[in-house]
Amino acid sequence: MGKNVLLADDDQLLASLLNFRLKKGGYTVHHSVNGKEVKEYLENTMPDIIVSDIMMPYFSGIELIDYVRNELKSNTPIIIISSAGNEQNVLTAFELGANDFITKPVSPTELLVRIAREIDK
């Protein structure tokens, strides 16, 4: 069984491409488009890794890190996707316990390498 990836991104286009690449890479992907769905999913399942955009309806990527680390008390690796040029986001994300950070435009190949690195740790 492939490792489970939770992909949280409301950008259908980018998500479709990443979804495609992750599946090709042997992962099982669950894709959510907003914070609410993410929360519901995480209440029942803990994936092997979470990949999330910072900007999301209802529940930002930053809030997601906080929720996973502090409420669910989980150490599941989290990779945050965000636009370039927002240093504060990077700092906050790492402070709250994000494992890695990748800036847009996202190279799917790069993301896969980073995911593999986190899971294999």
* Surface-to-core class of residue 18, CB atoms within 10 Å of its CB (0-12 exposed, 13-18 middle, 19+ buried): buried
Q: Which of 77, 113, 72, 119 is CA-nearest to residue 97? A: 77
The answer to whether residue 13 forms part of the interface with another protein (CB under 8 A) is: yes
* Total of chain residues touching another protein, rule CB under 8 A: 18
The answer to whether residue 48 forms part of the interface with another protein (CB under 8 A) is: no
Alpha carbon separation from 5 to 50, 85, 95 (Å, rounded): 6, 26, 22
Q: Find the shortest distance in angstroms from Cβ 76 to another protein.
A: 25
Q: Which of residues 16-35 bind another protein (CB under 8 A)?
A: 16-17, 20-21, 24
Q: Are 84 and 76 in contact (CB under 8 A)?
A: no
Nearer to another protein, 84 or 121 (CB): 84
Q: Which of residues 74-93 bind another protein (CB under 8 A)?
A: 83
The answer to whether residue 105 forms part of the interface with another protein (CB under 8 A) is: yes
The answer to whether residue 102 forms part of the interface with another protein (CB under 8 A) is: no
Give the alpha-carbon dihedral of 42, 43, 45, 46, to 10 degrees. Answer: 50
Q: Which residues bind another protein (CB under 8 A)?
A: 10-14, 16-17, 20-21, 24, 55, 83, 104-109
